[in-house]
Amino acid sequence: MSEMQSTRRGRPGYDQQGILAVAVAAFNEHGYDATSIGMLAERLGLSKSAIYHHFGSKDQILDLALDAALSGLEAVVDDPLPASAVEASAVARLEHVLRGAVHVLIAQLPAVTLLLRVRGNTEVERRALTRRRAFDRRITALVSEAQAEGALRADMDASVVARLTFGMINSIVEWYRPGGREGADRLADDVVAIALDGLRRR
C-alpha cells in the first residue's frame, strides 16, 4: 500500500495529511495568494469537493500547516532535558533548544518555510505571527537567563542575540535539501558550535 493511499477513510489517493503536504509545497512554490483550491485539485488529481471534504477552506489548510510548524517549535522550548538534567543551567537549555529547532526545521522543512514567509496579511497569518513572537520572547528570556547566570557574555542585547541566532537557524530552509551532505545532527552541532563558541580556533 503506497504512502499516499488513505488509511483514514479508505478513499484511494490522499488523506488529509497527504493533501496538506501537496498544498504546502504549492504555497511555497507559487505563494499562498496565487494558489487556488482549483490549482490544488489539479495537482492532486482530485475534485475541488474532495478537497473541501477534508478542509473547510484554503485558509484552514494554511492554518493547519502553520500550526504544525509552530507546535513543533513550541514543543522544543517546552521539552525538558533528560531527567538527569532537570535542573540544567540556562545555557544547557539554550543549547538543547537550538539543537531541537534545527531538527524541527529539517523534519518539517516545507511547513517551517511557509511559516517564515508569513507577513500577516490575513487573520490566520496574524495569529501565526503572534505565536512566533511569543516563541521569540521565550528564546530571548532564555538568553537573558544564561547571561544572568554568567555563562553567556552580557554585553549584547538578549533580543538581538535571540534574533541573530535564530536567523542563522532559519536560514537553513533557504538551502537545505534532504539527503544532502550534512544531516540534522551534524548541522545542529555546527549551529551550536558557531553560536556558543564561534569559528575561531583556540
177 binds a second copy (CB under 8 A): no
Main-chain dihedrals φ then ψ at residue 126, nearest 5 degrees? -65, -40
Site for a second copy in 5-64 (CB under 8 A): 31, 33-34
- Residues 76 and 40: their CA atoms lie apart, in Å, by 32
Question: Considering beta carbons, is residue 29 or 42 the nearer one to a second copy?
Answer: 29
191 near a second copy (CB under 8 A): yes
Quick one: which of 54, 70, 73, 63 has its CA closest to 27? Answer: 63
Compute how many residues bind a second copy; rule: CB under 8 A: 41
Contact 77, 97 (CB under 8 A): yes
Between residues 20 and 161, which has the closer beta carbon with respect to a second copy?
161
Residue choice 35, 113, 144, 165 for contact with a second copy (CB under 8 A): 165
**For residues 34 and 107, which CB has a smaller minimum distance to a second copy in the complex?**
34
Torsion of CA 187, 192, 198, 199, to 10 degrees: -20
Taking CA atoms, 155 is separated from 16, 71, 179, 194, in Å, by 48, 32, 39, 18
Among 2, 82, 174, 177, binds a second copy (CB under 8 A): 174
Q: How far apart are CA 177 and CA 172, in angstroms?
A: 9
- Note whether 75 binds a second copy by CB under 8 A: no
Q: Interface with a second copy by CB under 8 A: which residues? A: 31, 33-34, 91, 143, 146, 150-154, 156-157, 160-161, 163-172, 174-175, 181-182, 187, 190-191, 193-201
